[in-house]
Amino acid sequence: MPMLLSGADWATALVFVPLLAALACFLVPRAAGWLGLLAALLILLATLGLVQGLLADGPLRVAVGGWGAPLGIDLWADGLSAALLLMTSLVGLGVSVYAPGYFAAHPEQRRWFWPLWLLLWTALNGLYLSADLFNLYVMLEVLGLSAAALTALSGSATALNAAMRYLLVSLLGSAAYLLGVALLYHGYGTVDIALLGERIEAGAVATTALLVMSTGLLLKTALLPFHFWLPPAHGSAPAPVSALLSALVIKASFYLLLRLWLDLFSGLGGLLSALLPELLGLLGAAAVLWGSVQALRQRRLKLLIAYSTVAQIGYLFLAFPLAGAQVNALAWRAVLYLALAHGLAKAAMFLSAGSLLQFAGHDRIADLDRAVQRLPLTLTAFVLGGISIMGLPPSGGFVGKWLLLESAFTQGRWGLAIVVLLGGVLAAGYVFKVVGYAFTPTEIAQEGEAVPLTMQWSALLLAFGAILLGFSAPWLWPLLEVGAPFMQPVAEIGMAALKEIGAIPAAVVTGSGMLEAEILAGSEVGTGRETWIGAAP
Amino acid sequence: MNSVLVFALAGVGLIGLGLYGLLVQRHLLRKVLAFNVISSGIFLLLAGLARRAPGAEPDPVPQAMVLTGIVVAVAATALALAMMLALRSATGRTRLKDHGDED
């Protein structure tokens, strides 16, 4: 492909295409379905363009409109953002293909779905590409507001109740995040992540900022004690919206937390930086077990899938205690793999649940009544998604769990390894519970409504994506290497992009705390880091 | 007591007050107002704590942030109020249903 457009153009397009499409869908509701689909295809194209640019030229920093920091908005893309952007555009395309069929049966919701969903997509892409904390706050708010509005789309009492609770939780979460931004700006005079990474040092300001920002983001990510709002919201939203919330929205706040941890806080040292990962790991383990058991107990399909999301969020946090002492960042890769696989698989499962709901008019698991014979494509999609959630080979979920286990075993963290395995067994339990009922005829045979093929195939293709992800390591690995997001703070490369490199090696050494001191104690580890530093400028 | 400390203490006070309201009050309108109190506290902190050299021009960046934050808070409040009204016309209630009394 001739490179008519550079990586910078693609990155800008990723924010502007969904934004303009959202406005167009709002103004011309009759054409919304086609506009949305066109936007989804363009976004996928732009993501592929960006990925190609990143692979060829390395990480990317764009000053939008040529303004630059501190008043302008900078975009930043590395392997971590690109992987999540890619997952977002695949799930987004799948949901956009699914939605017209679903909303044909709910025409009153169709008018608002498209603008809100494209606005949500704008916020997701903007969040993965933002280079400064304040712009991230704005994107976080756009994301939260559009997600809450989408949850309320059906207008039922249950949905409105869940959406209202979700909105309040989400607003509180972003307020806490903004408080952290205010503190960091007070302490270090900038909101640019790269500059902050350079300037931040251990102290009361950084500790308080870390605490309030992580609490806010955990609230939005629904890690165990904060999960209370998730099952009602994800369970009562229209199926395409549930898919978006579970597959994409949760990942965005997790990404932000990961980004802050990797680039700002993990190198600070001190008691909190040592304890917080352990605490997150503990909560994650509790979430895996509790969410899975709750999923097993549910009688309604969508609630079952929603509780499964609570459990899968737990997995993402198991990496925090594991990654501390590993320079090859095995645990981070594992968790990214799990996040990508969960995105594709959970979208497929929620879309399948939507098809079943449309077919039967209810989603009671016990009354699925031979769904397997009557909607074979949909059930296949559900099972393939379930295979990835369980972590069976050769799915993407398998690769993620395998890497996580490997990381746990090499460090002798048997407790975490057992949680990983037990979560898989429980997941098998709840997936097969659904499949079992889908094979069983009920006493009174039920008539079903026809389900459009676009709905069935989009779910199936997403589920295939989750399986194929297991084979994608050879080309996903090099992408993750771009900008080495897990190896060293983004600050260093970001600074290179800003042409302000000064004392990078010194900063790495002086900025290292307890955990990094441990890392450097291992000889292999130490050389890896030094090689990179030598090669950087 | 310098002005920065006054701003900081007032901001923290407002945030605490708002947090208390958001968690304890059951009427949704009061929850929405409590959220606005929290936001005001954060804006006060953001603008009051911004680093400034004595006698120099104040730093414009936090003021730009507060302006953006106000716009966001207004939009969020509008959505929350609209949703509250929709909830009331659908159920007749103006408070959230607890997990205990789910049907």
Residues 6+ apart with CB under 8 A from A4: none
Q: Do A145 and B76 touch (CB under 8 A)?
A: yes
Residues 214-253 of A with CB under 8 A from B: 228
Contacts with B98 from chain A: Cβ below 8 Å? none
Number of folded domains that form chain B = 1
Q: Does residue B85 form part of some domain?
A: yes
Predicted confidence pLDDT, tens digits, chain A (537 residues): 455 678 889 999 999 999 999 999 999 999 999 999 999 999 999 999 999 999 998 899 988 878 776 677 899 999 999 999 999 999 999 999 999 999 998 888 999 999 999 999 999 999 999 999 999 999 999 999 999 999 999 999 999 999 999 999 999 999 999 999 999 998 888 899 988 988 998 888 899 999 999 999 999 999 999 999 999 999 999 999 999 999 999 999 999 999 999 888 887 877 777 889 999 999 999 999 999 999 999 999 999 999 999 999 999 999 999 886 555 578 898 999 999 999 999 999 999 999 999 998 888 998 888 888 889 999 999 999 999 999 998 899 999 999 999 999 988 899 999 999 999 999 999 999 999 999 888 777 777 788 999 999 999 999 999 999 999 888 888 898 888 887 654 444 444 444 433 333 333 333 333 333 333 333 333 333 333 333 333
CA angle (A376 as vertex; A370, A378 as ends), nearest 5: 105
The pLDDT of residue A267: 76
Which of B69, B83, B87 faces A178 most closely, judged by CB atoms? B69
Q: Do B80 and A228 touch (CB under 8 A)?
A: no
Q: Do B42 and A167 touch (CB under 8 A)?
A: no
| A179 in contact with B, Cβ within 8 Å | yes
CA distance A402 to chain B (A): 37
Q: Do B22 and A141 touch (CB under 8 A)?
A: no
Q: What is the DSSP annotation of A283-328?
A: HHHHHHHHHHHHHHH-SBHHHHHHHHHHHHHHHHHTHHHHHTT-TT
* CA torsion angle A434 A439 A441 A446 (round to 10): 70
Residues 6+ apart with CB under 8 A from A434: A301, A304, A365, A368, A382, A386
Left (φ > 0), alpha (ψ -120 to 50) or beta: where does A471 sit? alpha
CATH number for the domain that contains residue B71: 1.10.287.3510
Per residue, what are the HEC states of A194-254? HHHHHHCCCCHHHHHHHHHHHHHHHHHHCCHHHHHHHHHHHHHCCHHHHHHHHHHHHHHHH
The pLDDT of residue A536: 34
Which of A141, A157, A185 faces B90 most closely, judged by CB atoms? A157
Q: Does residue B39 form part of some domain?
A: yes
The pLDDT of residue A326: 55
Helix (H, G, I), strand (E, B) or coil at A75: strand
Whole domain around residue B18: which residue ranges?
A: 3-91
* Helix, strand, coil share of chain A (percent; to 5): 80, 0, 15
| B96 in contact with A, Cβ within 8 Å | yes
Report the alpha-carbon distance of residue B99 to residue A397 in Å, rounded.
Answer: 32
Q: How many CB atoms lie within 10 A of CB A410?
A: 12
The answer to whether the peptide bond before residue A100 is cis (omega within 30 degrees of 0) is no
Which of B49, B76, B84 faces A171 most closely, judged by CB atoms? B76
Residue type, A283: L
Q: Give the residue, B66 or A527, on which the prediction is more confident.
A: B66
Residues 6+ apart with CB under 8 A from B14: B37, B38, B40, B41, B44
Q: Does residue B22 form part of some domain?
A: yes
Residue among A248, A419, A223, A373 at smallest CA distance from A310: A223
| A73 in contact with B, Cβ within 8 Å | no
Helix (H, G, I), strand (E, B) or coil at B27: strand
| Residue B103: pLDDT over 70 | no
Q: Does residue B96 form part of some domain?
A: no
Q: Does residue B17 form part of some domain?
A: yes
